[in-house]
Amino acid sequence: MTDETRVAVLGLGIMGSAMAHNLVAAGLPTTVWNRTPAATVPLARAGAAVAASAAEAVSRADVVITMLPTAEAVEEVMFGQEAVVVLPPGSVWAQMGTIGTFATGSLERRVPEGVLFVDAPVSGSSGPAKAGQLLILAGGPDEAKPIVAPVFAAIGRDTLWLGPAGRGSALKLAVNAYMAFLVEGVAESLRLTTELGLDPRDLDRAIEGGPLDAPFADAKLHKIERGDRTAEFPLEWALKDVNLALAAAGADRFPLLGALSRQWGAEVDAGHGREDVSWRSSSPTG
């Protein structure tokens, strides 16, 4: 494929809208569709074409990106709205939302003959998405690689090709488990600092520049210190990913993930699901 690769993006949440903006900026003909049409307005202004339906969006695309929050949403859009039946032969369906290993396998088995399926969730939140610096965790057939190459180059800093479809989703669950441990550790360490009568800035000073100074953890620590509640990665989606990991690998074998699931589930039930994963009851101001 060339720079004229035609792309359709289905799902314009925090991540999908950022990805679509970068595709337009890269000069790739981009058609967008969202279940809530208002989300398409900024992209139309940026130069994207807006489709009236998911089926219309994918009907002439070389690469179709689904960036939807759950397996159920992907199922409804691609199969319930019959978008999958009009995917052009030779096109690639890049399933980029985090929906878990079981759902990914189910989708792959139902892809029409002649359409290539790539399992390609991303690592990174809103900041890297806007900057086109996502890490793409991809699994799928070799013949799909040149087709998606200009698309992935526009939205990501690198693509890790991991083998067959399903491996991308598996690694994404492991990456997000690591993220969950980091963010929970930051939040509870800050709260402990406060409970012991210390200034949270002292914790920052003690960690800064040393072997414990992980960039992601440091960013979340400063985010909490600033009182910044902007949702880069909403708690409800972090909980979803923790639960997908437990479903894939067995809840009884991962006690820390199980504890996070219970704690974060209680906080989502209490109305905190749309807050950033760093801002919860375990933060200093919780």
Q: Which residues contact 188 (CB under 8 A, 6 or more apart)?
A: 282
135 phi and psi, to 5 degrees? -100, 125
pLDDT digits (tens, 9 = 90+) for 192-239: 999 999 998 999 999 999 999 888 899 899 888 888 888 888 999 999
Confidence of residue 283 (pLDDT cuts 50, 70, 90): low
Look up the pTM and report it: 0.90
Q: Which residues contact 181 (CB under 8 A, 6 or more apart)?
A: 256, 260
On the question of a common fold for 7-164 and 170-272, the answer reads no
Examine the pLDDT at 280 and tell me if it is beyond 70. no
Q: Give the DSSP per-residue string, 189-215.
A: HHHHHHHTT--HHHHHHHHTTSTT--H
- Identify the pLDDT of residue 246: 95
Question: Which superfamily is assigned to 170-272 in CATH?
Answer: N-(1-d-carboxylethyl)-l-norvaline Dehydrogenase; domain 2 (1.10.1040.10)
Report d(CA 221, CA 207) in Å as an integer.
11
Which sequence spans correspond to the domains of the chain? 7-164, 170-272
Examine the pLDDT at 285 and tell me if it is beyond 80. no
pLDDT, the chain, mean: 93
In the block, residue with structure tokens 């992980």:
214
Report, as an integer, the average pLDDT of 262-267. 94
Q: Give the DSSP per-residue string, 127-178.
A: HHHHHT-EEEEEBS-GGGHHHHHHHHHHHEEEEEE-SSTTHHHHHHHHHHHH
**Which tokens is 113 given?**
């003959």
Q: What number does CATH give the domain 7-164?
A: 3.40.50.720
**Which tokens is 186 given?**
């930051």
Confidence of residue 153 (pLDDT cuts 50, 70, 90): very high
pLDDT digits (tens, 9 = 90+) for 196-209: 999 989 999 999 99
Longest dimension (CA), the chain: 64
